[in-house]
Structure 1
């Protein structure tokens, strides 16, 4: 997890440097500073610092992974990576609900968007609770 923390912290430094250059460059323009771009660059830096800080925090509490070694080989990371549902239909329901929500929100049909948000909540609940219904239900 330390390498992920370093990557996000490097991205944050990049956004801070570019944001400062952008702020100075637009401040010298005849219309004054362009606040939307400056805010976006600094907020992007803060978001990447948030992710980097989370990875740095988690890296202290997990065991050392092969990715954290400088001289690790590819086969050091071999083995089971986790459980992934092979035949779940719930991600499709979440995607349909999200697309319907986007259509409803973009077209100004807010009741349709609220109904689609409920579809997203039900589908996400189904996705999370899929394997907690008992073995006799499958």
Structure 2
């Protein structure tokens, strides 16, 4: 994770340098600076700094991965990487229910939001429990 942490640190440093430059370049405009762009750059800088701190903290806590060592070989990273879920329809139904709820709230159709919430709860339960029964149970 050390390489990833350094990539985010480099991006953070870049934005730390670019944000005040952007503010001073836009300060000559008739509105006295672009608040929207500057605040977006500040928030991106803080987000990247947070991710950099998180990755840097965890990189110190972990043992060296083969990717982080200079003498690491491809074979050192061999083995099981984890569980990757197979194809599933449940995320589609959950997303469609969330879309229905959002649309119904925008259109003030509360009855449709209730229907979307009930069907969404069923879709969420199906998504959570899909590995407890059927072909991919474990």
TM-score where L is the length of structure 1: 0.74
Residue 108 of structure 1 and its aligned partner are, at CA, apart by 1.9
Is 1:67 matched up with 2:52? no
In structure 1, runs of 5+ residues without a counterpart are: none
1:25-65 deviation line (CA, Å, top 9, x unaligned): 01122321110100000100101111111111222332221
Match of 1:109 in 2: 107
Q: Please give the root-mean-square deviation of Cα atoms over the aligned residues, in Å.
A: 3.2
Is 1:58 matched up with 2:55? no
Matching of residues 1-138 of structure 1 within 5 Å: 1-101=1-101, 104=103, 108-109=106-107, 111=110, 112=112, 116=116, 123-124=123-124, 126-131=126-131, 133=132, 138=137
Residues 38 and 89 (structure 1), Cα distance of their counterparts in 2 relative to 1, 3 Å cut: same
Counting matched residue pairs gives 135
Paired with 2:70 and 2:24, the residues of 1 have a C-alpha distance of 39
Flag the structure with higher helix content.
1
Runs of 4+ in 1 over 4 A off after TM superposition: 112-126
TM-score where L is the length of structure 2: 0.74
Paired with 1:114 and 1:14, the residues of 2 have a C-alpha distance of 47
Paired with 1:57 and 1:117, the residues of 2 have a C-alpha distance of 39
